Amino acid sequence: MAKPDDAEPVESIARNRRARHDYEILDTWEAGVVLTGTEVKALREGRANLTDAFGIVQEGEAFLLNLHIGHYGQGNVFNHEPTRTRKLLLHRREIRRLIGSVERQGLTLVPLELYFRRGRVKVRLALVRGKQQHDKREDIKRRDADREIARALRQR
């Protein structure tokens, strides 16, 4: 019997912690990333940074821009460019849905996490809307209130 997708072991490479703070997450997808050999080896060493990365859809294809993957130590002249544009592997119907959301509604594609699944590099993409400063403050207040409630229940 096959295991469900959620039960598969996932080896996380990098997370975008600012994304959940700066954006309201509306929907998420898992996408493959087209990489070169030295990029994969650098990712196995944990040399990735998602903070400035974002996704775009153009001409029916999805791309990830500003994903920084550091140089591989033994790569010498064959090393890759750290912030090159990388193609995302998504189903056609998913890309069509993204085109509608990104172009018509003014939403943004942001990577949340980069990880290995079954030896392949995957990225968890989120369709997001930017938060205003007062929304961020409300989230912080709500989190503090929840923490206080949990603390009070624990003491009983």
Domains of the chain: 10-131 (2.40.280.10)
Distance CA(15)–CA(68), nearest Å, equals: 12
Q: Is the pLDDT of residue 2 over 60?
A: no
**Lowest mean per-residue pLDDT among 100-104, 111-115, 150-154:** 100-104
Distance CA(21)–CA(103), nearest Å, equals: 23
Q: Is the pLDDT of residue 18 over 80?
A: yes
Question: Which tokens in the block code for residue 143?
Answer: 């989190």
Q: What is the pTM of this model?
A: 0.78
Can you say whether residue 142 is alpha, beta or left, with left for phi > 0 and alpha for psi between -120 and 50 degrees? Answer: alpha
**Mean pLDDT, to the nearest integer, of 8-19?**
87
Task: Tell me what the pLDDT averaged over the chain comes to.
Answer: 87
Question: Which tokens in the block code for residue 47?
Answer: 């040399």
Render pLDDT for 27-60 as a digit per residue (tens, 0 to 9): 999 999 999 989 999 999 989 999 899 999 988 8
